[in-house]
Amino acid sequence: MRLFDTHCHFDFDVFADDFACQLELAQTQGVERIMIPSIGPSNWDKLLAMSAEYAGIYTALGMHPYFLTDNSVYHLTDLQKQTEAHLNHFRAIGECGLDAMVDVDHDIQGKVFNAQIALANDLQLPLILHSRKTHNEVLQLLKQHKFTFGGVLHGFSGSYQQAMQFIELGFYIGIGGVITYPRARKTRQTAANLPLEWIVLETDAPDMPLMGYQGKPNHPAMLSQVLSCLTLLRDTDERSVAQITWKNANRVFKVCE
């Protein structure tokens, strides 16, 4: 089976020791492709270099709401320049969005997110969305921008109705380790009932550890367990789920199979 981890912070320090071995470990579990979204100016150059050096590593350029500061609006010009200079070397804008659970000024989050939606519109690229307790506002902004290039709603944890609103705007739903927790009933039920043609798999490693691995860094090699859990929830064939989610991930990021 061929798997595509559509959201993994594989550039973080926890993976720095012998990265080639870390990548090989993921590959032994069927993970052939990995999308690494950026968090901001601090890792744009590193991600571009990684995607150039390693086959199967793809990247997105953007500014994550968690890492914004009062000065972040001034980096939007830098983001514009980076995207213009490296247009053929990244696949999406992101990770970007809104987060009601972090201590970052909401006005700054809004300005930076709006600018990134506009940039993705200009470049005709998908967005990798981060949304915590902000689904309605994110949807409203996407509609205001008349954004039509889709993307992935990363780390989804919500209702079927919320997920379908994003799907209607062309966004795939990123399903990760949350579904391995029995207490996450709403998210598990949603994952079981969404149209499979709009689901992609992710780990968000080193974050979002799976059930039974709390306190340990997550790893893209764990994606096969996310697949297994999703298959059980949907009571279907694992190979067919793997094939469809693989096609979905390649389609959204415009990667040849």
Which residue type sits at 240? S
Pairwise CA distance, residues 225 & 227, whole Å:
5
Is residue 204 a known part of a binding site?
A: yes
> How many residues make up the chain in this entry?
257
Q: Taking a C-beta distance cutoff of 8 angstroms, is the pair 68, 98 a contact?
A: no
3-state helix vs strand vs coil in the chain, percent to 5: 50, 15, 35
Q: Which two tokens stand for residue 83?
A: 């995207």
**Helix orientation angle between 135-144 and 106-123, rounded to the nearest 10 degrees:** 40
> Which amino acid, 119?
L
Q: What phi and psi values does residue 103 have, to the nearest 5 degrees?
A: -90, 65
Whether 154 has a binding-site annotation, put simply, is: yes
The answer to whether 7 is a known ligand-binding residue is yes
Q: Is 95 marked as a binding-site residue?
A: yes
Burial of 5 (0-12, 13-18, 19+ CB in 10 A): buried
Query: Any binding-site annotation on 130?
Result: yes
- Rounded distance, CA 206 to CA 202, Å? 11
Whether the bond between 95 and the residue before it is cis, its omega within 30 degrees of 0, is yes
Burial status of residue 160 (CB atoms within 10 A of its CB: 0-12, 13-18, 19 or more): middle
| Annotated binding-site positions for a divalent metal cation | 7, 9, 95, 130, 154, 204
| Annotated binding-site positions | 7, 9, 95, 130, 154, 204
